[in-house]
Chains A and B, each alone.
Chain A
Amino acid sequence: MTEESKYSKAADLPEELREHLGALILVLADNKRLLGMRYSDWILGAPALEAGIACSAMAQDEWGHGRIFYAMLRDFGQDPNQLEHGRESPEYRSSELLDGPADGWTDLLALNLLLDSALSVQFEAMAESRFEPVHYKVSKLLDEERFHFEHGRGWVARLGSTESGREAMQRAFAPAWEVCVRWFGPDDDEVARALCDGGLTDKDAAGLRARWLERVAPVVESVGLGLAESDGGAWRSRVEPSWDGWDFELRRGREGGPDADTLVRVRGDKNRSLLMD
């Protein structure tokens, strides 16, 4: 890649790519912010002291990542302060899995292993992005995310060793799987294709979903959750993504958004009077 082929700021990007990348960054920032909240919900309720500490660390990681990418959107002509504190629920681009708290530990694990990995796969695809501000941030982010994945994998192995644990995971993972398997968009998604063709990511939607499957399917099938299958080659989801109600821009179901309590917390409404800027 030549130096000329890299973009050091958003204004250098062709208009269409700038729009697509700005939208993707907001999707990622929203998911990171909300996922951090879901991890934090379990700091005190986790089944082991160490797991609570891990949730605290993962929450901090996610919030840090969210903050970096909200701030990056300033370069795209958006106001990070408004994005973080001034939006209504339907404007959020976070996954529907994050709209309310994870009710049980296995629900949190589904977010940890399936959704967090989907976000990481999307970031990995930008590790060599021609858009340098993203490229420079992704490597440290992925270093931290490696531990999030291993946390999920470790807990799946632990719970999968008992029949009741496996059944609880099956109940929690099936709905989360359906959401995550479609999160990358349809195979022929034009936005994902354009970002890939433009050198801002390295795979289209089909390629990203395949990469996510390679990551998570061996874990869930090591304990036989029945969500994916492989004949020794590539992993396939046993659930076809459903595009009913899918919103291409929000990368989530069209209906809903973060619930009232979540919105108050994620925007920091209670502390609004203390905002310094």
Chain B
Amino acid sequence: MSDGDRLWEVFARRKRADHFEHIGCVEAPNPDLGRVYAWQTYDEAKWFEMIVAPRDAFHPVNRPEQPFTLHPSAEALT
């Protein structure tokens, strides 16, 4: 990960009635690029809705050790 990049966790749902599922992560320096990269990287489905959140916005609840991971690929990137 280059200087200034953050990890962005990507969540999406196929239909309005679905729950969001965590589908992966991208690295990007700002929300604009995080959103674009997420949309263009995870284009395997016709998503009804996709959202991203910076990984550092997530707070561990029961396991204080860092880093936690939402997705196996995130471990390789950190």
A residues at B contact (CB < 8 Å): 47-48, 50-51, 53-54, 56-58, 147, 150-151, 153-155, 157-158, 161
User: What residues of A have a CB within 8 angstroms of the CB of B40 in the complex?
Assistant: 53-54, 56-58, 147
Cβ-defined partner of A150 (8 Å) among B5, B27, B35, B43: B35
Given known A-B contacts A57-B43, A158-B4, A161-B4, A50 and B37 have beta carbons under 8 A apart: yes
Q: Is B33 an interface residue (CB 8 A)?
A: yes
Establish whether residues B30 and A50, one from each chain, have CB atoms under 8 Å apart when the complex forms: no
Q: Can you pick out 26 interface pairs between chain A and chain B where the beta carbons lie within 8 Å of each other? A: A47-B2, A48-B27, A50-B27, A50-B37, A50-B41, A53-B40, A53-B41, A54-B36, A54-B37, A54-B40, A57-B40, A57-B43, A147-B36, A147-B39, A150-B32, A151-B36, A153-B32, A154-B28, A154-B30, A155-B33, A157-B29, A157-B30, A157-B32, A158-B30, A161-B4, A161-B29
The CA of A57 and the CA of B41, in the complex, are separated in Å by 8
User: What residues of A have a CB within 8 angstroms of the CB of B41 in the complex?
Assistant: 50, 53
Closest to A159 in B: B29
User: What residues of B have a CB within 8 angstroms of the CB of A151 in the complex?
Assistant: 32-33, 36
Which DSSP category, helix, strand, loop or mixed, fits chain A's interface? Answer: helix
Closest to A157 in B: B30
Q: Is B12 an interface residue (CB 8 A)?
A: no
The CA of A113 and the CA of B27, in the complex, are separated in Å by 21
The CA of A155 and the CA of B32, in the complex, are separated in Å by 9
The CA of A133 and the CA of B37, in the complex, are separated in Å by 31
Closest to A47 in B: B2
Distance in Å from the Cβ of A158 to the closest Cβ of chain B? 5
User: What residues of A have a CB within 8 angstroms of the CB of B27 in the complex?
Assistant: 48, 50
Establish whether residues A154 and B43, one from each chain, have CB atoms under 8 Å apart when the complex forms: no
The CA of A57 and the CA of B29, in the complex, are separated in Å by 19
Closest to B37 in A: A50
The CA of A57 and the CA of B33, in the complex, are separated in Å by 14
User: What residues of A have a CB within 8 angstroms of the CB of B2 in the complex?
Assistant: 47-48
Establish whether residues A50 and B26, one from each chain, have CB atoms under 8 Å apart when the complex forms: yes
The CA of A147 and the CA of B39, in the complex, are separated in Å by 8
Give the most central of A48, A50, A51: most B CB within 10 Å: A50
The CA of A151 and the CA of B31, in the complex, are separated in Å by 10
Distance in Å from the Cβ of B36 to the closest Cβ of chain A? 5
- 7 pairs of A and B residues whose beta carbons are closest in the complex: A154-B32, A154-B33, A57-B40, A50-B37, A158-B29, A151-B36, A150-B32
Distance in Å from the Cβ of A38 to the closest Cβ of chain B? 17
The CA of A153 and the CA of B26, in the complex, are separated in Å by 18
Q: Quick one: CB contact mask for B6-36 with A, threshold 8 Å, 1 for yes? A: 0000000000000000000011111111011
Distance in Å from the Cβ of B57 to the closest Cβ of chain A? 18
Establish whether residues A154 and B29, one from each chain, have CB atoms under 8 Å apart when the complex forms: yes
The CA of A157 and the CA of B35, in the complex, are separated in Å by 14
The CA of A50 and the CA of B39, in the complex, are separated in Å by 11
